[in-house]
């Protein structure tokens, strides 16, 4: 297991100890996406921008959207995007996948992050 994978696993185990999350607001998550993510990411299939499309992101292996040039760090991370892995990554992208090419610092507000992830789960 790589150091990054160990960190992701440790973070996921820590999440299991947290109390159940409150209901997320998908509409609020769409607003977070529009304000913070849409400059680089599309929600449309096969429409990569500066970042890869986030259409159908949940369940997808990190670094594997056709036609997008990922960093080696992202492509080789071994991550499969789930609610839990997205939460960890969106908290601190460089903390979860060091040396990835994304310059975004993350969504520090847990409520906004949960809303954003709830929205991302609808993109199918």
Tens of pLDDT, residues 19-31: 444 468 999 999 9
**Cα-based angle 86, 88, 93 (whole degrees, multiple of 5):** 90
User: CB neighbours (10 Å) of residue 104?
Assistant: 15
Model pTM score:
0.80
Q: What per-residue confidence (pLDDT) applies to 24?
A: 80
> In angstroms, rounded to a whole number, what is the distance separating the alpha carbons of residues 43 and 39?
11
Spans in the chain with pLDDT lower than 50:
17-22
The proportion of the chain whose per-residue pLDDT surpasses 90, expressed as a percent, equals 79
> In angstroms, rounded to a whole number, what is the distance separating the alpha carbons of residues 34 and 9?
30
CATH fold of 3-16+24-120: Cytochrome Bc1 Complex; Chain D, domain 2 (1.10.760)
Which structure tokens are listed for 101? 């090419």
Q: What per-residue confidence (pLDDT) applies to 11?
A: 56
> In angstroms, rounded to a whole number, what is the distance separating the alpha carbons of residues 85 and 100?
15
Q: What per-residue confidence (pLDDT) applies to 18?
A: 46
* Domain segments of the chain as ranges: 3-16+24-120
């Amino acid at each position: 297991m790589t150091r990054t994978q160990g960190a992701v696993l440790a973070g996921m185990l820590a999440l299991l100890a947290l109390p159940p999350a409150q209901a997320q607001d998908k509409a609020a998550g769409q607003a977070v996406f529009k304000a913070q993510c849409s400059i680089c990411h599309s929600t449309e299939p096969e429409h990569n921008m500066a970042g890869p499309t986030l259409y159908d992101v949940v369940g997808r292996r990190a670094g594997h959207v056709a036609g997008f040039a990922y960093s080696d760090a992202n492509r080789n991370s071994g991550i499969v995007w789930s609610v839990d892995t997205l939460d960890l990554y969106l908290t601190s992208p460089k903390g979860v996948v060091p040396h990835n090419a994304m310059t975004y610092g993350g969504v520090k507000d847990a409520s906004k992050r949960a809303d954003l992830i709830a929205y991302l789960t609808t993109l199918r």
